[in-house]
Copies of this chain bind each other. A is one copy, B any other.
Amino acid sequence: MIIDCHGHFTTAPKTLHAWRKKQLDGMHDPAIALKKTDLVISDDEIRAAIEDGQLKLQKARGGDLTLFSPIAGQMAHHLGNERTSLLWAEVCNDLIHRVCNLFPENFVGVCQLPQAPCVPPASCIPELRRCVEQLGFVGCNLNPDPSGGYWQDPPLTDRYWYPLYEEMVRLDVPAMVHVSSSCNPCFHGTGAHYINGDTTAFMQFLLADLFTDFPTLRFVIPHGGGAVPYHWGRYRGLSLEQRQRPLEPLLNNIFFDTCVYHEPGVRFLTQVIPIDNILFGSEMIGAVRGRDPNTGEYFDDTKRYLDACAHLSAEERHKIFEANVRRVYPGLDAVLKKRSVVAAASL
């Protein structure tokens, strides 16, 4: 099975964006305050958005299933406030839930959290619980910088975040560490803030004892781990110097996806980072949607790059494409096991 751990509903109907705009425009005026029910999107609209978007490319590229979450750049936790963020997360997660119900073979949900700058992340627990327990989601996206490029919340290893981690551990769901858009003019969103967020989070984990406190807590660092694999020697050295311990045990809790948009980069990732820590991901129809004029292929068709890695054995490919993501997201594994039981019973 080919499972893409990193998909966002970037092709969502424009009605969604219009609702959000209206929500923010009216956030200080109760007279025009929006309700969730003010957003009307039909099943046909969702079908069209998916069938002509992520599902089309999933099939064309030989994929089977995508862990699917709301648009990362649109989480925009720096806009609005705690209340608008909660409603916005509910709306976006409900939409993902409908996608997963319409296409249960192809998409499994991962949720957006209702974060807000400098609001304790414990506030996200009810929505996380709702998504996992009621909507069947298997993970969440956690924004290490709800301020959108000004980095004003404490590091991810601070006790500030612990109540949320306790709930993640209880539910046995991992988080993908994923910033949203940047409102800092120094940082382009997908070209700087995304990659910096990945690198920053990894270094925070390196310095702290988070995984002593939460031995089963798991994070996926997307975009190939930011700068981390390329600077693996730097991080090995920093761990030895700053914490007098080897870096490698961090890999019990931290995983990287393959959203690196050229073949040499993906090959490098698979040669430097242990295979058990690599999850296939494409973030398709995301940061880079075009085709490479040198090859005629999509930049974000990362499966193609993995297929070209001649050094990977069949077992290693199986790990990257399926086994690792099922291990890191036990909820997904449960869905797939249940599915195969049902399939066997119907024979």
How many residues from A make CB contacts under 8 Å with B? 59
Scan residues 53-109 of chain A and give those whose CB is less than 8 A from a CB of chain B: none
Q: Does A232 contact B (CB under 8 A)?
A: yes
Name the distance in Å between A226's Cβ and chain B's nearest Cβ.
Answer: 6
Task: Supply 13 further A-B pairs (C-beta < 8 A) apart from A195-B234, A224-B230, A231-B262.
Answer: A145-B186, A150-B151, A153-B186, A186-B200, A188-B206, A188-B242, A191-B235, A191-B242, A192-B199, A223-B231, A224-B231, A230-B265, A233-B260
15 A-B pairs within 8 Å (CB atoms) are namely A145-B186, A150-B151, A151-B186, A187-B203, A191-B203, A195-B199, A196-B196, A196-B199, A233-B261, A234-B287, A236-B261, A236-B262, A240-B293, A241-B288, A264-B268
* Given A185-B154, A264-B268, A272-B264, residue A292 in contact with residue B237 (CB < 8 A): yes
Contact B234 A191, beta carbon cutoff 8 Å: yes
Contact B236 A292, beta carbon cutoff 8 Å: yes
Name the distance in Å between A227's Cβ and chain B's nearest Cβ.
Answer: 3
Name the distance in Å between A13's Cβ and chain B's nearest Cβ.
Answer: 22
* Most chain B C-beta atoms within 10 Å of own C-beta, residue among A149, A190, A288, A299: A288
Scan residues 205-227 of chain A and give those whose CB is less than 8 A from a CB of chain B: 206-207, 223-224, 226-227
* Most chain B C-beta atoms within 10 Å of own C-beta, residue among A145, A188, A190, A204: A188
Q: How many copies does the complex hold?
A: 2
Q: Which residues of B contact A300 (CB under 8 A)?
A: 237
Q: Does A274 contact B (CB under 8 A)?
A: no
Scan residues 176-200 of chain A and give those whose CB is less than 8 A from a CB of chain B: 184-188, 190-192, 195-196, 199-200
Contact A290 B240, beta carbon cutoff 8 Å: yes
Q: Which residues of B contact A271 (CB under 8 A)?
A: 264
Q: Does A17 contact B (CB under 8 A)?
A: no
Q: Which residues of B contact A7 (CB under 8 A)?
A: none
Q: Does A114 contact B (CB under 8 A)?
A: no
In whole angstroms, how far apart are the Cα atoms of A83 and B242 in the complex? 34
Contact A206 B191, beta carbon cutoff 8 Å: yes
* Most chain B C-beta atoms within 10 Å of own C-beta, residue among A155, A203, A292: A203
Q: Which residues of B contact A233 (CB under 8 A)?
A: 260-263, 265, 288, 292, 299
* Given A236-B292, A264-B271, A290-B240, residue A227 in contact with residue B191 (CB < 8 A): no
Q: Does A22 contact B (CB under 8 A)?
A: no
